[in-house]
Amino acid sequence: MILQAHLHSLCLLMLFLATGYGQEGKFSGPLKPMTFPIYEGEESSQIIFQFKANPPAVTFELTGETDNIFMIGREGLLYHTRALDRETRSTHNLQVAALDANGIIVEGPVPITIEVKDINDNRPMFLQSKYEGSVRQNSRPGKPFLYVNATDLDDPATPNGQLYYQIVIQLPMINNVMYFQINNKTGAISLTREGSQELNPAKNPSYNLVISVKDMGGRSENSFSDTTSVDIIVTENIWKAPKPVEMVENSTDPHPIKITQVQWNDPGAQYSLVDKEKLPRFPFSIDQEGNIYVTQPLDREEKDAYVFYAVAKDEYGKPLSYPLEIHVKVKDINDNPPTCPSPVTVFEVQENERLGNSIGTLTAHDRDEENTANSFLNYSIVEQTPKLPMDGLFLIQTYAGMLQLAKQSLKKQDTPQYNLTIEVSDKDFKTFCFVQINVIDINDQIPIFEKSDYGNLTLAEDTNVGSTILTIQATDADEPFTGSSKILYHVTKGDSEGRLGVDTDPHTNTGYVIIKKPLDFETAAVSNIVFKAENPEPLVSGVTYNASSSAKFMLIVTDVNEAPQFSQHIFQAKVSEDVAIGTKVGNVTAKDPEGLDISYSLRGDTRGWLKIDHVTGEIFSVAPLDREAGSPYRVQVVATEVGGSSLSSVSEFHLILTDVNDNLPRLAKDYTGLFFCHPLSAPGSLIFEATDDDQHLFRGPHFTFSLGNGSLQNDWEVSKINGTHARLSTRHTDFEEREYVVLIHINDGGRPPLEGIVSLPVTFCSCVEGSCFRPAGHQTGIPTVGMAVGILLTTLLVIGIILAVVFIRIKKDKGKDNVESAQASEVKPLRS
């Protein structure tokens, strides 16, 4: 048995040397602590490392967690005799020692750690074949209400044990809309935004979901999977806004007072109120039962309504759902007396005013709620001073507050002024307001200008707006500082554009003529302006305004050179990007106020696409246009007067380029690194995306896809997914482990259609942990098994020749030195 193990170790040694593993430092070396990663499931009799020890060591010993799997040969070859299983033991802690001929440890022992690397050899399994849960309607989207859990015995630190959850089926599926979603990593089930809005237990009280779980993070077609069923009951949402609350103002009841309540669907919610108005005084609070209180008396006159929000949060401070809007209306009580508009209200009445005519209206105010009994006011006169020529000369309308003459017209010689005390009352309060009525002279005199002609006035057309250009004066013989003597001036002729206005000094009745709009020599070089002076009070019957109340002057406007004026601030034109060079693409127009000729030029034509006719303003293309380079293309147009002061003005020209199909389709991104795991267990597919630089309007891109040549059709097929994406699929599983370059035709379906040819490099390779993996036995430079056998035979032949040479030299030289030299030559190949 020992001899058999020795021969097995010797064969491994010869194979180790033949395959190149004997290189110093990489696969062999001195005895020292080391760690070796080994994938589970690898074939048995795999060499791990060759340890070397110095004399007098002649053999090695292996101890520790060998599990009868790990062995070490006399020559120091560490190997395992059968496949490893990470799920049985993920780490083997071994010790290696070097022994002399007597079996005594002369070096070591040193720790050797074998880390068993995971491969995907276990399928994920749900903990339950069926789950049940419930959710409230209108629950917050994304908040989990149920978890599904699966386990996988593979290493969770690798893709082999990384699980990916997804919803496969939702029943019922209404309008093809998913109401539920799942966290792909945690298995947390929650509502989508549509589910939060649409779930209604009255329509569909329950739903069934089929959930799948895949390993490899769900990114490999060779991943293992499992499914489970989830039954969900939809319950009614009790998180609803309460009805609007009415609260009487200035309540004397003890505060706080409960006014309403909100309640979350489940216990344990944390409630708070949010004042969106940011009031300086927020008189509401909420307890952790959802009861809402008013904390102090409210005043309707300060604020008649409140709108705020109730929020429910979980123990982590995250909102459980949308906030509820709370409305509180403050009900009015009669707690405000009427107020007068001013300490004394003054009215004027002419001495010849007719009976019943309105003198004025007293308007008092009440801060209580409008259009209620609390603010409904009554007016009455309680005193007239003086009572000349009699009492009761005035009356006031009870509800409107309008004052009228009651008994006779007034005469200024009787008294020039009356004072009235008026009681204003609501149903609980009353206030006294004071009114002063001034009797004024009748307006029987007209304003008369001091002169009827103010001559000629010459102004430049650029005189500033607001400038005072003339002072005029009229007088009125009626009583000063009354409506009968106050004078208002109006321009009645010669200014149809409203360029002039007149301000009146209220103390002197002096009129100041000002410029309200810019003057314009080109439209009104000479204007005959006529003024009229009038009183705000109407004239008495039989008296009319005549020529004495009018005056005139001649306004002469002198020319000022002005810059040309464009007809538009921005000119726009639209052309196709493929128009021929020399095509007219637009035109601009400008005029010079003085009638001078205009020369046009362009500014900011950075791409050199355009030129302009300097006389007509027509704009032409002078180079190929490109929408993708910039649209709209913006330049400035300059209009300069020819002659004069060469003044100029600037406008914008925007050229909008419409698209033509002039860009070949291409891949939307770099698709290097595409691979299938070899060998294929079933036909596989990859998805790729196409794009181009042309403009796609409402329907978007509409690409079609086909294989680049007929020879590819035996191995591949390409199918369209939508207007931009396609799927490249294998037709069989018999592919070599190498890279394939697949040519794809992409047609954009435009007018005219353009077609591009792209290449997709696809690699077929062995996969470990979801990535391409090439075992050491298949790496470049490592011989195949057949080559290894040939190398082994060659090595044995060389060793035989060397032994023969050594034997001949020993016979020729009996000396000790020669013997030692021959021994060294025998050992030397083993150290190389």
Per-10-residue mean pLDDT of the chain, 832 residues long, equals: 45 45 65 92 83 91 93 92 89 95 92 92 93 90 94 89 94 94 96 93 95 90 92 92 94 94 90 91 95 96 94 91 93 94 93 87 93 94 93 94 91 88 95 94 89 92 89 90 89 92 93 92 88 91 91 89 86 89 92 85 92 93 86 91 82 88 84 87 88 70 85 89 90 89 86 85 86 55 50 75 69 47 34 28
CA angle (464 as vertex; 463, 468 as ends), nearest 5: 90
Q: How many CA atoms lie within 13 A of 367 on its CB side?
A: 10
Q: How many CA atoms lie within 13 A of 647 on its CB side?
A: 17
Q: What kind of fold does domain 664-770 have according to CATH?
A: Immunoglobulin-like (2.60.40)
- DSSP symbol at 177: B
The confidence score (pLDDT) of residue 8 equals: 47
Q: How many CA atoms lie within 13 A of 282 on its CB side?
A: 14
Distance CA 610, CA 600 (A): 13
- What is 243-329's CATH number, 3.40.630.180, 2.40.50.220, 2.60.40.60, 3.40.50.300? 2.60.40.60
Q: How far is CA 275 from CA 250, 301, 307, in A?
A: 21, 20, 8
The confidence score (pLDDT) of residue 17 equals: 45
- DSSP symbol at 731: S
- For CA atoms 732, 737, 741, 747, the dihedral sign is positive
Cis amide leading into 156 (omega within 30): no
- What is 445-556's CATH number, 3.20.20.140, 3.40.50.1100, 3.40.50.300, 2.60.40.60? 2.60.40.60
Per CATH, the homologous superfamily of domain 563-656 is Cadherins (2.60.40.60)
Instruction: For residue 345, give the amino acid letter.
Output: T
Tokens of 317: 């401070």
The confidence score (pLDDT) of residue 631 equals: 79
Please state the three-class secondary structure of 500-569 as a single string.
EEEEECCCCCEEEEEECCCCCCCCCCEEEEEEEEECCCCCCCCCCCCHHHEEEEEEEEECCCCCCEECCC
Distance CA 192, CA 215 (A): 25
With DSSP H G I counted as helix, E B as strand and the rest as coil, what are the percentages for the chain, rounded to 5? 10, 40, 50
Supply the CATH classification number for the domain 32-115: 2.60.40.60
Q: How far is CA 661 from CA 573, 623, 656, 666, in A?
A: 20, 19, 16, 14
- Among left, alpha and beta (phi > 0; psi -120 to 50; other), residue 700 is left
The confidence score (pLDDT) of residue 87 equals: 87
Q: In what order do the strands lie in the sheet with 188-191?
A: 146-147, 188-191, 180-182
Cis amide leading into 632 (omega within 30): yes
Distance CA 523, CA 594 (A): 11
- What is 123-233's CATH number, 1.20.120.80, 3.30.70.980, 3.30.365.10, 2.60.40.60? 2.60.40.60
Q: Where in the chain is the domain with CATH 2.60.40.60?
A: 32-115, 123-233, 243-329, 342-438, 445-556, 563-656, 664-770
Tokens of 399: 């509800």
CA angle (604 as vertex; 598, 605 as ends), nearest 5: 95
The confidence score (pLDDT) of residue 310 equals: 96
CATH architecture for residues 342-438: Sandwich (2.60)
